[in-house]
């Protein structure tokens, strides 16, 4: 049996009872380490689960997936932060297993896609989720902007998932075919806001009309589901100066029109309550 087990968003105890029972009986247990992270170290997880964990980085999952799948008379667990189907890579693992006639069982858990409701914006009023990637000197995609605009035109909120870089090879190591990795880094809400504003400025320079401005409302969230969870509501411009501390962060661009209950709930997280009132009238 091949098990995909969601770990939830917070700490070691967020796993379900069912998931923990399965881990304890598996021959091999993998911890997926590149689509998200928990706030605890691998050693803490191993102590709580009572078994060693094999770290599954992007290279292993995407290039050597068959090594992960169980052999005959074996049970294998693949642990995913959040919910197992929060990333398409895990869908690919399921399809590979079924091609080999391996039984698959999924143990679901909380995901940022639903936990983002903690900020007070109603889940059924969200549009397409977007990812904001780190830019480089030679690669600065802005397709996330078009999706945010599309959502706003339909009066829908946008959840922006922010880039993380874990065990990413350096350009030099790729050219030399030598494994050398960059330090891990995790995009913050202020970095995401800066990139979004840069796209806005480029659109304005190109004389394009935009429904989004740097004075539009933005919601920054950090470590959702953890004891030290933080939420801040302010303008997109002010978000460029907000420090929400350690990762993981995500950014929400609310719809132009919000339900009165959404506004009332958001108000408790306003960086400047007077300014918030002006922006939501």
Q: Residues at the annotated binding site?
A: 9, 83, 86, 111-112, 162, 224, 249
HSE-up of 240 (CA within 13 Å, CB side)?
11
Evaluate whether 97 touches 123 at the Cβ level (below 8 Å). Answer: no
CA–CA dist 48, 69 (Å, integer): 24
Judge contact between 48 and 22, C-beta under 8 A.
Answer: no
Cα angle for residues 248, 87, 104 (degrees, 5° grid)? 125
Residue list for the binding site for S-adenosyl-L-methionine: 9, 83, 86, 111-112, 162, 224, 249
Letter string b/e over residues 11-40, b meaning 16 or more CB atoms within 10 A of that residue's CB? bbebbbeebbebbeebebbbbbbbbbebbb
Contact 234, 274 (CB under 8 A): no
Q: Does an H or E element contain 159, and which? A: strand 158-162
Beta-carbon contacts of 21 under 8 Å, excluding residues fewer than 6 positions away, are none
Q: Determine the Cα–Cα distance for residues 5 and 242; give it in Å rounded to an integer.
A: 34
3-state secondary structure of 259: coil
* Residues shown for the chain: 281
How far, in Å, CA of 236 to CA of 276, rounded?
12
- C-alpha triplet 234, 193, 119: angle, nearest 5°: 45
Copy the structure tokens of residue 83: 């919910």
Extract the tokens encoding 22: 């399965």
């Amino acid at each position: 049996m091949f098990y995909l087990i969601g770990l939830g968003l917070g700490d070691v105890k967020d796993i379900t009872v069912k998931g923990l029972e399965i881990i304890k009986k598996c021959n091999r247990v993998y911890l997926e380490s590149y689509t998200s992270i928990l706030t605890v170290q691998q050693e803490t997880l191993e102590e709580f689960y009572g078994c060693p964990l094999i770290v599954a980085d992007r290279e292993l999952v995407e290039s050597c997936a068959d090594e992960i799948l169980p052999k005959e008379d074996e049970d294998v667990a693949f642990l995913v932060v959040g919910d197992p189907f929060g990333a398409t890579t895990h869908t690919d693992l399921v399809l590979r297993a079924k091609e080999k006639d391996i039984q698959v069982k999924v143990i679901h858990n909380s995901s940022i896609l639903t936990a983002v409701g903690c900020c007070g914006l109603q889940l059924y009023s969200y549009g397409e989720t977007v990812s904001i990637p780190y830019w480089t000197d030679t690669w600065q995609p802005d397709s996330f902007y078009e999706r945010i605009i599309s959502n706003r035109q339909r009066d829908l909120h946008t959840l922006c998932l922010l880039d993380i870089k874990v065990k990413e090879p350096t350009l030099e190591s790729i050219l030399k075919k030598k494994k050398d990795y960059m330090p891990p880094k995790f995009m913050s809400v202020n970095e995401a806001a800066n990139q979004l504003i840069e796209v806005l400025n480029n659109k304005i320079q190109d004389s394009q009309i935009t429904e989004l401005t740097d004075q539009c409302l933005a919601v920054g969230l950090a470590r959702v589901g953890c004891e030290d969870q933080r939420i801040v509501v302010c303008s997109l411009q002010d978000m460029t100066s907000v420090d929400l501390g350690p990762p993981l962060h995500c950014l929400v661009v609310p719809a132009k029109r919000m339900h009165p209950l959404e506004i009332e709930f958001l108000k408790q997280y306003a960086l400047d309550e007077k300014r918030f009132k002006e922006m939501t009238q």
